[in-house]
Structure 1
Amino acid sequence: MEHIEDAQFDGIDPNASPFQSVDSNTTPRTEFSSPSSPFPKVIIPTDCRSLARQKLARLTLEEKVSLLTAADFWRTKSIPSKGIPAIKTSDGPNGARGGIFVGGTKAALFPCGISLAATWNKDLLYTVGQHLAEETKARSANVLLAPTVCMHRHPLGGRNFESFSEDPLLTGKLASKYIQGIQSKGVAATIKHFVANEQETHRLTIDSVMMERPLRELYLRPFEIAIREANPWAVMSSYNLVNGVHADMNAHTLKDILREEWGYDGTVMSDWGGVNSTVESIRAGCDVEFPYSSKWRFEKALKAIEEGRLTIKDIDIAAENVLTLVERTKGNDMSAEEAEREDDREETRKLIREVGAEGITLLKNEGQVLPLNANTTKVAVIGPNANRAIAGGGGSASLNPYYNTLPLDSIRVTAKQEVLYAQGCHIHKWLPVASPFCTDKSGAQGVTIEWFSGDKFHGDVVVTQRRINTDLFLWDSAPLAQLGPEWSAIATTYVTPTATGKHTVSFMSVGPGKLYVNGKLALDLWDWTEEGEAMFDGSIDYMVDIEMQAGKPVELRIEMTNELRPVAKQKVFNMTHKYGGCRIGFKEEDQVDYLQQAVDAAREADVAVVIVGLDAEWESEGYDRKTMDLPSDGSQDRLIEAIVKANSRTIVVNQSGSPVTMPWADKVPAIVQAWYQGQEAGNALADVLFGLRNPSGKLPATFPRRLEDTPAYHNWPGENLRVMYGEGLYIGYRHYDRKSIPPLFPFGHGLSYTTFEYGRPSLSRKLMTGSAPIHLIMAVTNTGSVAGSETVQIYVRDDKSRLPRPEKELVAFEKVLLGPEETKHIIVPLDKYAVGYYDDSLPGWIAEEGTFKVLIGASATDIR
């Protein structure tokens, strides 16, 4: 789910759940979650499309058209008189957040998409899908907006962490299992974003320009695999243009390919605010617009029918697709929507810990520094991410987890010897949210918000709320039903420092905003003009230093409205009000030398574990990374260099959702890629470090040595709102093969605490036909002393082709768990898809006559 930057309508943002549009229960207040209660069992009939057709026949034209736009921010339109319930959507893909963006109902936070992909474990992805479905139900939702299957075209992509891989086959196969797991429980999966949405820079207006072959072989391929194997009940169109036409109205991708070639029979929804026309989007096959908006459909669609630009059949096709999704998920269930609830299950906790550990990827382990001996090793845990919950990336994938586990805590629980700790450095992009230091007017943790109807603070307070978090971006959670479309609000909180000093408060405002400290105006952002870098529109982060005394509260009061800022945007977008809000940060003055503390701790310990990386501020939906370097300003690189000098037995743990530059990679003996692991991040890491779990993760994306080595380096992020996919077919390992550039760590790479031997492979036959697959049979042996899993990767090389092809392409993979000295045989089918490519001169897919080599490896560069 995404914010809206597009031109709006009639002076008021139509996408903010207008008060007249909500026709089902709204999400409860965020202060607490409702107690658990059993959900009524909904029996979904099997022939959903014919039932949808029957309901469609009973609708008036106006009712049909009303189904083509959402009823509010998250729900489809209900027509109770005709037995049509509303269905509710919820953001994924690493959890089911529910209806509030920040501080909503607590939910299970799973590892991010790239971490799931690092498991290379199809069965595990199916189980994850099943648990995500149960979480979706606990949020009273019927549709999970997941999985994200956009390609890792460039390491700086802001949403790489949320997607699976640089390889379309790995992405498609894992997405298929994930979708099957979700839908096995009667919840709809929404595969997204269709298509060519590989960057966040100018994401609403960027034109992704590419040839037909890479479009087919790389960017459409994961969708095609998932639709062929799992039939997701919904597809979400992307924001961008594809070869000059917006994705929501792109007849080539939505109609010619998705519907006609692939025979897709599900529902296409827009991304949030991602509809760009009336006639074209409906005719191309974008069935339902999210969220509620009066901008493109309703009267405009009816007028287009009157004028002959749309036909009744166009409307019927779209409305029938919407009704089919309703039938698949809710049938005739007209009962009131339950309040969101928590469903914190022990089996889900265990699964998240298991999946997290299985995704952790051991990149380097010289001298067998790992695993650590819990009984004898004195460990120094160092780094800016060591004592923080770096559980997920930023944007619509974020949620309010049931709990978090911190690396430092988990290591202390596991280790039997003393564990030292030093932070080492800061990596803040913005100051941390002030929430841990804040109390509201009643003395409870959080902020008191007093809301007024209208944007002038006039009259009585209409609504009073308590919010736990001081991240108060209010795009989807202002109480518009009580306030109307224009509002003003006063947020009050009391910050109590733990130490005396000159501390810093930061303030970022979405609309007009003023910050008062103890009643005095400290920052006036009423008419701010300089925009910051955040997922939502907002100012830059302004800071004010305040002399504070330990234990003595300081009052912060914010006055804010939802008038649009900067003012210049009001004319550009033909609107005066959008969504308001602010963010309050706080940091106490540093009183120690963090680097020296870290060096001292490292010298005193047997082993130093340095936990570095990115976080949800550096890696997020809404913007791309500016550099592959670790933030900020080289502080983490300097920390690692200093620690390895102080202690040669240094293990670097990197938490990120995409590659980072590692100038110290040759100096440290061990490197662990820990991704974003959700609520069990600390426990999963400790399990691997101490050998309670044998790491088996393999990289789903190449880690390059330098940004300059990457495939899209010359074509990122484009110019004049166009980005040329000039690298063609050669993204990821295909590029490094073709250019003979050695990466830092190759695609598919990942070490273990044991060793594996591959037996001699054989094929069931040597001639492939279109009707039956060839089977590859081979033995894998664990030649070490501990149990472990190995992922066998099968690549194919075309010896001679009419058109240029990559050196090799992943066509299959199989993960096998082996006890010490155990041997297992694996059988892997290879079908026509394993040797085919797309020829746009035909046009069509072709499997040419000729010789193909099957390459079996432990990574893209370790061909056995």
Structure 2
Amino acid sequence: MSDTEMTNSTPNTEFSPPCSPQQKFEQLMKDTRTSARKKLSQLTLKEKVSLLTAADFWRTKAIPEKGIPAVKTSDGPNGARGGIFVGGTKAALFPCGVSLAATWNKDLLYEVGQHLADEVKARSANILLAPTVCMHRHPLGGRNFESFSEDPLLTGKLAAQYIRGLQEKGVAATIKHFVGNEQETHRLTIDSLIQERPLREIYLRPFEIAVREANPWALMTSYNLINGTHADMHDHTLRTILRGEWGYDGAVVSDWGGTNSTVESILAGCDIEFPYSPKWRFDKVTQAIQDGKISEGDVDRAAENVLTLVERLKGDDMAEEQAEREDNREETRALIRAAGAEGLTLLKNEGGVLPLNAKTTRVAVIGPNANRAIAGGGGSASLNPYYNTIPLDSIRAASEAEITFAQGCHIHKWLPVASRFCKDKSGKPGVSIEWFAGDRFQGDPVVVQRRTNTDLFLWDSAPISEVGPEWSAVATTYLTSNSTGTHTVSFMSVGPGKLYVNGKLEMDLWDWTEEGEAMFDGSVDYLVKVEMEAGKPVELRVEMTNELRPIAKQKQFGITHKYGGCRIGFKEEDQVDFLQEAVEAAKAADVAVVIVGLDAEWESEGYDRQTMDLPSDGSQDRLIEAVVKANPRTVVINQSGTPVTMPWVDRVPAIIQGWYQGQEAGNALADVLFGFKNPSGKLPSTFPKRIQDAPAYNNWPGENLKVNYGEGLYIGYRYYERALVEPLFAFGHGLSYTTFEYGRPSLNSKILTPHNTIELCFAVSNIGSVAGAETVQIYVRDDKSRLPRPEKELVAFEKVFLEAGETVHLRINLDKHAVGYYDTAIPSWIAEEGTFNVLIGASSADVKYTIPFEVKESFTWIF
């Protein structure tokens, strides 16, 4: 048996040697601030004011005559999409945030950041709008898949490494959304009512850790209000805490369209309004100075932060922005595949069903997600990947067994986009769009384009410079079905829209009033039945403009035009009984692999889920029950970014939580199913048995545009342990194909003081027959506290990779942050005198050892 020693210690910059890389980096940051101040001193007031809003949708303002370049942003967080929301430059699609968090691997997050930096540069961008560190407050959160965890320490530690990976390659991270943005329902206007202790200990904590350990160069405010004030103008969080207590020196940007005032926003410390808009800045800033509401010094402070960001990224580089390009590297593909496999979380494995072995001769691959790429969630996290891998194809490639497939059921929220059935008039795949200046289709088209996707989300890709801010467009495509029957076409529109089928008006949404969930500001999805013959094209023509709809919004927002677009979906009439086909396939197989879950329509920015049940209408649950009855050797893979109810959990022997694994999702899954990779994922959030058990169940999603964070400190495992509610699967849970054994721990000191750490030492051994990885989780419990505290809290974690028979000796340092809580009466962080216990475990519910230590005398700190 071989022995290895590991420690979680990181260099303390206070004691770094002269000319250390850390000190060189800090000096560089000081130099950029000095250079920014020098450039600021050369600017006129008008020029300084111009820096406080974006130049367009993605870029900051350039002032070439003063040597100030623009910098370009790109959406993340699981890839660098570039400048077009739908159908843009192809890019690497990484596993989603919750899947990366399920790896519990800080080194991996750093490596992901490094590769993402290269992708950002390939999009000719300088700033990635990531990571997302909002908390998993409720299982139905629409963007939970994009965020990391329910635990602030896990979230903050992983975010810090992700940020370091990006910024050490010269790309700015933009940590978001600051703060209290745990839901999408009414996200622009909801008021998050959060008491000071949970605000500090839960929701601000990931940002605090990331600022302390990685110093993100940019930070994005959230859309919501916090205790009555919009986040972009919230003095307490932005000026008192972020700038004051934490000493943050980066640039603060609003979320897109998330600036809500002129004076208050600038005074609080929101430096840049994104995207370009004349609504709150420009002349209004100058007028506010003249009226004495703000000073030129306030503008100088914000402009200096913008210039410092530009200096960090480009300095004096005035080179013309290059065209976006692809950079499809083998090493990035390999990293995505490995990261995907490492995040897969084995929840259950009775009877040794997994891994599938060489004796398996017939495998039935079943389910609505088995033969399509479910690579990521929707909204800002979406992009056009270099490629996708499909589970069915990957399973076939990995095994010599006979593989059969049955779909089992449909789970569409909206009909699938019609793109693969569509060609333009020339016969090329896609849609032709004729653009007109003005919103009344007058004159000849000014621009003619071809798009490959019938999801025509045009908010960031309309040719505004040619057609102007008010435009109209005609999109035409020819749809050909593979079968004869009564098929279905769907249509939703952002602005006014009309759909013609073979010249006949079928859907008139010119003055629609009922809002849907797709495309952020679109109508509901309307359906029309169309009789079609196999191989015979049908012409679809859409007339649309970018007038704001519903019309009532024009008065509400004081604008008449915004963005336009439409979405065309298509589904052929079913020809088979999918459920019966699945049962027959399962009966004939040695093992059934059922791949179910959600997708980018069910989990997305812009809206929350409405139920924890698998969609839709129980069809997936019925499928699983029928398959496991037909074949007891059934493996279920659930692809989702959030928990789902599992009424079949006791009858299915093996379950994998599949998350969204990016472009290598199929290959990563096959690697784990067949044992080429040993699963090592651990749940970064608790899976409850039912939605009613969720901590925030009684305070979700709020009423009258207010949501009370009434559960306080007790989110996730903190709640389940305090309330004695048994979850379906506990925080930190995850199985392996091997077995690990923990050695008895020791401490180098039993006393923790303000200026020292205590070192926890113990061994972990792989006593199984195959190599594997274990995540060791360290919790601390305060035996007696003046204020209520959770039963225990995660304070450290380490992932170890062990060959069969190998032992590693871990040394984990614990400091004041492991014992403190925030006392609003002081107000500061405090470590109270008394006894604490270190709990060492494989999950929050699987504690192996407990060992006590003391704080002899209470002490406090700010940051």
Give the TM-score normalised by structure 1.
0.95
Q: Answer whether contact 2:152 2:206 (CA < 8 A) is retained.
A: yes
Task: Find 1:49's aligned residue among 27, 33, 40.
Answer: 33
2: distance between equivalents of 1:46 and 1:851? 42
Counterpart check, 1:553 vs 2:522: no
Q: CA deviation at 1:745?
A: 0.2
Task: Find 2:676's aligned residue among 677, 692, 697.
Answer: 692
1: distance between equivalents of 2:241 and 2:745? 37
1:493 aligned partner: 477
Q: CA deviation at 1:356?
A: 0.3
Correspondences of 1:595-610 after superposition (within 5 Å): 595-610=579-594
2:554 aligned partner: 570
Q: CA deviation at 1:565?
A: 1.3
1:506 aligned partner: 490
Q: Answer whether contact 2:432 2:451 (CA < 8 A) is retained.
A: yes
Task: Find 2:824's aligned residue among 840, 843, 846.
Answer: 840
RMSD, aligned CA = 0.9
1:185 aligned partner: 169
Correspondences of 1:646-795 after superposition (within 5 Å): 646-795=630-779
2:379 aligned partner: 395
Aligned to 1:223, what secondary structure does the other structure show? helix
1: distance between equivalents of 2:169 and 2:358? 41
1: distance between equivalents of 2:148 and 2:608? 17
Task: Find 2:51's aligned residue among 32, 49, 67.
Answer: 67
Structure 1 runs not aligned, ≥5 long: 1-42
Correspondences of 1:125-164 after superposition (within 5 Å): 125-164=109-148
1:32 aligned partner: none
Task: Find 2:346's aligned residue among 356, 362, 368.
Answer: 362
2: distance between equivalents of 1:630 and 1:82? 57
Residue 319 to residue 762, structure 1, CA distance change in 2 (3 Å): same
Correspondences of 1:77-476 after superposition (within 5 Å): 77-374=61-358, 376-476=360-460
Aligned to 1:863, what secondary structure does the other structure show? strand
1:612 aligned partner: 596
CA displacement 1:604-636 (0-9 Å, x = unmatched): 000000000000000000000000000000000
CA displacement 1:502-534 (0-9 Å, x = unmatched): 111101011111111111111111111111122
Q: Answer whether contact 1:392 1:677 (CA < 8 A) is retained.
A: yes
1: distance between equivalents of 2:28 and 2:204? 31
1: distance between equivalents of 2:475 and 2:225? 40
2:605 aligned partner: 621
2: distance between equivalents of 1:821 and 1:480? 64
2: distance between equivalents of 1:109 and 1:621? 17
Q: Answer whether contact 1:472 1:581 (CA < 8 A) is retained.
A: yes
Deviates more, 1:436-445 or 1:95-104: 436-445
Task: Find 1:529's aligned residue among 510, 513, 518.
Answer: 513
Q: CA deviation at 1:784?
A: 0.3
Aligned to 2:692, what secondary structure does the other structure show? helix
CA displacement 1:726-763 (0-9 Å, x = unmatched): 00000000000001111000000000000000000111
Q: Answer whether contact 2:250 2:305 (CA < 8 A) is retained.
A: yes
CA displacement 1:750-808 (0-9 Å, x = unmatched): 00000000000111110001112111111000010000000000000000000010000
Aligned length: 822
Q: Answer whether contact 1:45 1:331 (CA < 8 A) is retained.
A: no
Q: Answer whether contact 1:608 1:647 (CA < 8 A) is retained.
A: yes
2: distance between equivalents of 1:249 and 1:374? 61
1:24 aligned partner: none
Task: Report the residue type matching 2:701 in the other structure.
Answer: P
1: distance between equivalents of 2:66 and 2:126? 20
Q: CA deviation at 1:673?
A: 0.2
CA displacement 1:150-172 (0-9 Å, x = unmatched): 00000000000000000000000
Q: CA deviation at 1:134?
A: 0.3
Q: CA deviation at 1:571?
A: 2.2
Deviates more, 1:500-509 or 1:401-410: 500-509
2:11 aligned partner: none
1: distance between equivalents of 2:554 and 2:28? 47
Task: Find 1:637's aligned residue among 621, 627, 642.
Answer: 621
2: distance between equivalents of 1:704 and 1:76? 44
CA displacement 1:277-328 (0-9 Å, x = unmatched): 0000001000011000100011000000011101011000000000000000
Q: Answer whether contact 1:494 1:555 (CA < 8 A) is retained.
A: yes
Among the aligned pairs, what percent are the same residue? 78
Task: Report the residue type matching 2:335 in the other structure.
Answer: L
1: distance between equivalents of 2:529 and 2:650? 41
2:3 aligned partner: none
Q: Answer whether contact 1:535 1:620 (CA < 8 A) is retained.
A: no
1: distance between equivalents of 2:416 and 2:358? 33
Task: Report the residue type matching 2:636 in the other structure.
Answer: V
Q: Answer whether contact 2:520 2:606 (CA < 8 A) is retained.
A: yes
2: distance between equivalents of 1:521 and 1:376? 55
Task: Report the residue type matching 1:415 in the other structure.
Answer: S
Task: Report the residue type matching 1:599 in the other structure.
Answer: V
Q: Answer whether contact 1:712 1:725 (CA < 8 A) is retained.
A: yes
2: distance between equivalents of 1:114 and 1:438? 35
Task: Report the residue type matching 2:613 in the other structure.
Answer: D
Q: CA deviation at 1:360?
A: 0.2
Task: Report the residue type matching 2:72 in the other structure.
Answer: K
Aligned to 1:85, what secondary structure does the other structure show? coil
1:814 aligned partner: 798
Q: Answer whether contact 2:780 2:837 (CA < 8 A) is retained.
A: yes
Q: Answer whether contact 1:376 1:416 (CA < 8 A) is retained.
A: no
Aligned to 1:363, what secondary structure does the other structure show? strand
Task: Report the residue type matching 2:42 in the other structure.
Answer: R
Residue 334 to residue 811, structure 1, CA distance change in 2 (3 Å): same
Q: CA deviation at 1:44?
A: 8.2
2: distance between equivalents of 1:535 and 1:748? 35
Q: CA deviation at 1:377?
A: 3.5
Q: CA deviation at 1:375?
A: 5.6
2: distance between equivalents of 1:189 and 1:511? 33
Residue 374 to residue 286, structure 1, CA distance change in 2 (3 Å): farther
Aligned to 2:506, what secondary structure does the other structure show? strand
Q: Answer whether contact 1:375 1:416 (CA < 8 A) is retained.
A: no
Task: Report the residue type matching 1:636 in the other structure.
Answer: Q
Q: Answer whether contact 2:496 2:547 (CA < 8 A) is retained.
A: yes
Q: Answer whether contact 1:153 1:731 (CA < 8 A) is retained.
A: yes
Residue 828 to residue 337, structure 1, CA distance change in 2 (3 Å): same
Task: Report the residue type matching 1:738 in the other structure.
Answer: R
2: distance between equivalents of 1:208 and 1:724? 6
Task: Report the residue type matching 2:156 in the other structure.
Answer: G
Task: Report the residue type matching 1:802 in the other structure.
Answer: R
Q: CA deviation at 1:564?
A: 1.3
1:515 aligned partner: 499
1: distance between equivalents of 2:250 and 2:558? 35
Q: CA deviation at 1:46?
A: 6.4
Q: Answer whether contact 1:410 1:686 (CA < 8 A) is retained.
A: yes
CA displacement 1:447-487 (0-9 Å, x = unmatched): 00000101111111100000010000111111000000111
